[in-house]
């Protein structure tokens, strides 16, 4: 007989209306409802308005930007031409990510 891991499953209601949470039990243990669900590498929230995904991607972009700040910071000794090239590259990178995640 196969077993289900309780930690991998969480019921989620995808609706705009206020409805009571589902009571799901596996092996006589109640599983709490979740507000977000990760499916096909995307994080969906219960109202399907993408807020959680957008906030998460924004945090990831800020972390990447902080890691690349040494390229454009005041104390880094690059010529003005190289700084402009680097800034254009980073702006294009963020622009294409914005198109990808809308």
Q: Note the pLDDT tens digit of each residue in 18-35.
A: 777 777 777 777 877 777
DSSP conformation letters of the chain: -----GGG-------SS--PPP-EEETTEEEPP-SEEEETTEEEETTS--HHHHHHHHHHHHHHHHHHHHHHSTTS---HHHHHHHHHHHHHHHHHHHHHH-
Q: In terms of Cα–Cα distance, which of 61, 86, 91, 88 is closest to 72?
A: 86
Q: Note the pLDDT tens digit of each residue in 32-72.
A: 777 777 777 777 777 777 777 788 888 888 888 788 777 66
Q: What is the pTM of this model?
A: 0.48
């Amino acid at each position: 007989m196969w077993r289900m891991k309780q930690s991998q499953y969480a019921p989620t209601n995808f609706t705009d209306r206020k409805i009571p949470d589902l009571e799901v039990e596996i092996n006589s243990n109640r599983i709490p409802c979740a507000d977000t669900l990760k499916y096909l590498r995307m994080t969906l929230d219960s109202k399907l308005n993408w807020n959680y995904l957008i906030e998460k991607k924004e945090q990831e972009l800020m972390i990447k930007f902080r890691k690349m700040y040494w390229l454009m910071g005041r104390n880094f000794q690059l010529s003005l031409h190289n700084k402009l090239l680097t800034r254009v590259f980073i702006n294009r990178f963020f622009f294409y990510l914005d198109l990808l995640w809308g």
